[in-house]
Structure 1
Amino acid sequence: MDSNCIQFLHDKTILVTGVPGFLAKVFVEKILRIQPKVKKLFLLLRAADNESAMQRFHSEVLEKDLFRVLENALGDENLKAFVTEKVVPIPGDISVDNLGVKGSDLLQHMWNEIDIIVNVAATTNFDESVNTFGPLNVLNFAKKCVKGQLLLHVSTAYVCGEKSGLLQEKTFHMGETLNGHRKLVIETEMELMKQKLRELQKQNCSEEEISQSMKDLGMSRAKLHGWPNTYVFTKSMGEMLLGNYRENLPIVIIRPTMITSTFSEPFPGWIEGLRTIDSVIVAYGKGRLKCFLADPNSVLDLIPVDMVANAMVTAAAIHAGKLGSQTVYHVGSSCKNPITFEQIHDLAARYFTKNPLVGRDGSPILVSKGTILSTMAQFSFYMTIRYKLPLQMLRLIYVIYPWWDGNKYKDIDRKIKLAMRLVDLYRPYVLFKGIFDDTNTEKLRLKRKEINKEMYGLFEFDPKSIDWDDYMMTIHIPGLITYVLKK
């Protein structure tokens, strides 16, 4: 299957949305590195014009360390020539018809040439136009592709909400809700959003007020139907629209769990930005996180980004051209090779004890094991006794004696706000009780393994190959420090 995957990419024209996002970049680099005879990659970027799209591609994709293996293999000039031949950055936006692609000639050319459509575009804001109606716009675009063989859509495993137990790789039905209390009408949700936006604009609210009000609306609507936040709510509706309107076009839905740094390709440890649990790891290493809300035994489903990209290529090779098919793949580790929050906490403590970060004053930052609290009630009580009451006392002193140095107060206040922000962000994950079934994904792995054993490692996405101690201690945390903290 590895050689079949490489052969599959030969002479293919592929549209990729969501560039220059983290996963989309890794996916594009993989294709260019393993199959130089790919015909063309159309990369959809948000940009004002062709020149801006090209600039974004170079600065936010090609010039990243991720491409250094390809650059070392080809040389700087040859890489530029290769990319010029193979890659076409396109200014566009999946939230509008025809993906915002301008020019009838370009549109017709794309519809005549594209074989595979890969949608990785998403937003964490409450924006149904991207997460919900974006996939429908991509689907409608894909249907116009004369040679279109497959639409591969990247969602998230956490569309399941806060369910527990073994979570199946199954599709959503149109109008389905997680709590079963009422039918979900996507058009109604969209109209509510538009109506609220019009009201806020009439009131001359600031951009910040509008943003916060829309987030609040999104959260209330998500929770009404059983989802914990707007991101997974809007991603779920996007999946529903794909399933309902797909007709005969083959659809693959990839649902990754929490994506982490590269495991091996193009080299270990590459990452961009603080992702999922990384904010907690970095805050802990900086000595800013003394306590955290988490179930120590809760499984944190982590998966390296290159394994997700490998699963995407393999699934595309298997399902392309299979009319009428719709398949969901959980790409994660909880079912085959779980790691708990307590394990990650221990590994982070070991790492930063042995390799402390350096503070602004040049001295090493000493970390303590910290306190993990497994319920929100315990966490709130601890924060009140340990921080909030002392903070109120310091605030009172600051009011009575304004000349007093308030740095202590500000430091504690900053730590409380950080802890509360991280808890609010990660509560659905660190208290999560579900395990993601990966029966479909295991079949995908077996198909690949059976056909071409000698090249098995080239498209690795088996979580059993991960030694978590080694990965966290020698790959992931060092990668965070090198590529995110830039130290």
Structure 2
Amino acid sequence: MEPSCVQFLENKTVLVTGASGFLAKVFVERVLRLQPNLKRLYLLVRASDNKAAKQRLHNEVFEKDLFRVLRKNVGDERLNALISEKVVPVPGDISLNNMGLSDSNLLQDMMQEIDIIVNSAATTRFDERYDVALGINTLGPLNILNFAKKCVKPQLLLHVSTAYVCGKRSGLILEKPFAMGETLNGKNKVDIDAEMRLVDQKLKQLKKLGYSEEETKQAMKDLGLQRAKLYGWPNTYVFTKAMGEMLLGYCRESMPIVIIRPTIITSTFSDPFPGWVEGIKTIDSVIVSLGKGLLKCFLVDHMAVCDLIPVDMVANAMIVTAAEHSRESGSHTIYHVGSSYRNPVMYKQIYEILNRFFMESPLLGRNGLPIVPNVTILSTMASFRVYTSLRYKLPLQILRLLRLIFPSQLGEKYEVLNRRLNIAMRMVKLYKPYVIFKGMSAKIFDGEGAVP
């Protein structure tokens, strides 16, 4: 990274929302290690009070193995002193006005001091409840923008979105902002206020009908997917992220805004060390299901591009773009951060690598024996339907009848087969927009404006 980018952070005060998230942790570690002369780092997490926020940051951020290089470089005592001196825990919720801060003194201090705001808070579940996703992914960015406008000396709002706000579009995807109300299928414009009213009405209706919490949760998940597909998006996550971008662009006034659109974020490439990852995200669930032998078939275009980007490269891009675009009054800049433009990798290559890995280093089953993955890859929905009908649906129908006669002998076999079918169907439902494309065989995210 250029020394000027590191120098840019000197004596700066930065707010990071969603600070306990995967990307935010890497960003925070990178900033503290590269520029210890940072003035202050406000880290916002969901918590009941300052004490709970501090404890959560300790447990979920600073105690992670991610910080071992920094800890080794400066020692435990110095790192703890650095955190105590520079880091301010902020208990808040971006779905609320002023991030839900009840401490007026803390709020005033932040407004006086903050130079850079990094909004990385999000819910990334593809089928999140619509009310929750709207609150965090759509209204959240607007609340952060309104807070930024109240700050005395804001230089930049950097918002982390996703490259997949493009939906099912294929070919070269440009670094282009959304117009307010724009849809992907050209139908009537999406009215965000109307979507909020719809959610309120739906919740009241469900309460009136006496729905349980679990039934309400499922109904709101279904509503999100319905509204997303109505306007051309494949799932609730990318739909609500797209609307969040719309609000930022429409309401920004003179606030400099950079929107980072990363593709599929994976483990660290090299910094602070290779291979650090946390939790199971996006493509990770497919990999885990493959390794455990739970995934017996999957739908994917072999020649489609699997756009992966290491998390440390995304963090680097965030720092570089912040340095490049701060103080540009009224600017609205978008960057794709991915690999498909410069270093495309096909799903075929990914599958071969994973298959070889699990053959050489298999996971162990409950019986202690190695699990040998055996996955049938299908490239069209037609072939997938035929396969699942012959492999699962027909046998399940037969087993369902036989189970009535031999419940003790066939009950477990039926449940296992049914579970495998449900896993395959759920994976395909969630990932189909990203692994099967019409027209061109791949999405290629424009990287002309990308930072090195």
* Distance in structure 2 (CA, Å) of the matches to 1:56 and 1:221: 35
For residues 104 and 413 of structure 2, the distance between their equivalents in structure 1, rounded to whole angstroms, comes to: 62
1:351-430 matched pairs, under 5 angstroms: 351-368=357-374, 370-404=375-409, 406-430=411-435
SS in 1 for 2:159: strand
> Aligned pair 1:162/2:171, yes or no?
no
Give distance in 2, aligned partners of 1:170 and 1:384.
Answer: 42
Q: Which of 139, 142, 151 is the aligned partner of 1:133?
A: 139
Match of 2:449, SS state, is helix
**Could you report, residue by residue, the CA deviation over 1:166-198 in whole angstroms, capped at 9, with x for unpaired residues?**
110000111111111112211111111111011
Q: Which residue of 2 is the match for residue 57 of structure 1? A: 57
| Separation in 2, partners of 1:315, 1:40 | 19
Q: Does 1:438 align with 2:447?
A: yes
1:296 matches 2:305: no
Deviation at 1:103, TM superposition (A): 2.1
Deviation track 1:417-440 (CA, whole Å, cap 9, x = no partner) reads 111111111111111432111111
Secondary structure at 2:177's aligned position in 1?
coil
Deviation digits for residues 2-48 of structure 1 (CA, Å, limit 9, x no counterpart): 10111001111000001201111111111011111111100111111
Match of 1:265 in 2: 271
Deviation at residue 144 of structure 1 after TM alignment = 1.1
Summarize the alignment of residues 38-437 of structure 1 with structure 2, pairs less than 5 Å apart. 38-123=38-123, 124=125, 125=128, 126=130, 127-368=133-374, 370-404=375-409, 406-432=411-437, 433-437=442-446
Separation in 2 of the partners of 1:426 and 1:216? 17
- SS of the counterpart of 1:177? coil
Q: Retained in 1: the 8 A contact 2:355–2:373?
A: yes
Report how far residue 138 of structure 1 moved: 0.2
Amino acid at match of 2:9: L
Deviation at 1:149, TM superposition (A): 0.1
Matching residue's letter, 1:363:
L
Could you give the per-residue CA deviations for residues 205-253 of structure 1, whole angstroms, max 9, x where no partner exists? 1111111111111111111111111111111111011001111111000
The structural deviation recorded for 1:367 is 2.4
Tell me, yes or no, if the aligned pair for 2:94 and 2:136 is still in contact at 8 Å. yes
Residue 165 of structure 1 and its aligned partner are, at CA, apart by: 1.1
Aligned equivalent of 1:15: 15
Kept after mapping to 1: 8 A contact 2:399/2:410: no
Shift of residue 75 of structure 1? 1.9
4+ aligned runs moved over 4 Å, structure 1: none
- Give the superposition deviation at 1:156: 0.5
Q: 1:14 is paired with a residue of what secondary structure?
A: strand
2 CA distance for matches of 1:201 and 1:33? 50
Structure 2 Cα separation of the partners of residues 175 and 330 of structure 1 = 22
Q: CA deviation at 1:290?
A: 1.9
Match of 1:28 in 2: 28
Whichever residue aligns with residue 270 of structure 1, its letter is W
Q: Which runs of 5+ in 1 are unaligned?
A: 446-487
* Farther-moved stretch of structure 1 (328-337 vs 288-297): 288-297
Displacement after TM superposition at 1:269 (Å) = 0.7
1:80-102 CA-to-partner distances (Å, cap 9, x unmatched) read 11111111110001111111112
Question: Separation in 1 of the partners of 2:368 and 2:320?
Answer: 48
Deviation at 1:407, TM superposition (A): 2.7
> Matched residues in 1 for 2:165 and 2:271: separation?
28
Aligned counterparts of 2:203 and 2:328: Cα–Cα separation in 1: 42
Shifted more, 254-263 versus 207-216: the winner is 207-216
Q: Which residue identity is paired with 2:377?
A: I
What displacement does 1:405 show?
A: 5.1
Gaps of 5+ in 2: none
Instruction: Count residues in correspondence.
Output: 442
Q: Distance in 1 between matches of 2:4 and 2:173?
A: 31
Give the whole-Å Cα distance in 2 for the aligned partners of 1:272 and 1:434: 26
CA distances 1:428-468 after superposition (whole Å, capped 9, x unpaired): 11114321111111xx32xxxxxxxxxxxxxxxxxxxxxxx
What is the DSSP-based 3-state SS (H/G/I as helix, E as strand, rest coil) of the residue aligned with 1:356?
coil
The amino acid of 1:96's aligned partner reads: L
Q: CA deviation at 1:392?
A: 2.2
Match of 1:479 in 2: none
* 1:44 alignment partner, SS class: strand
- State the alpha-carbon separation in 2 of the partners of residues 44 and 241 from structure 1: 21
Find the aligned partners of 2:224 and 2:411 in 1 and give their Cα distance: 37
CA distance in 2, matches of 1:210, 1:97: 25
Q: What SS does the corresponding residue of 1:327 show, helix, strand or coil? A: strand
Larger deviation: 378-387 or 110-119?
A: 378-387
What is the alpha-carbon distance in structure 2 between the residues aligned to residue 181 and residue 412 of structure 1? Answer: 41
| Distance apart, 1:56 and its partner CA | 0.7
Question: Residues of 1 paired with 2:257 and 2:158: CA distance?
Answer: 6
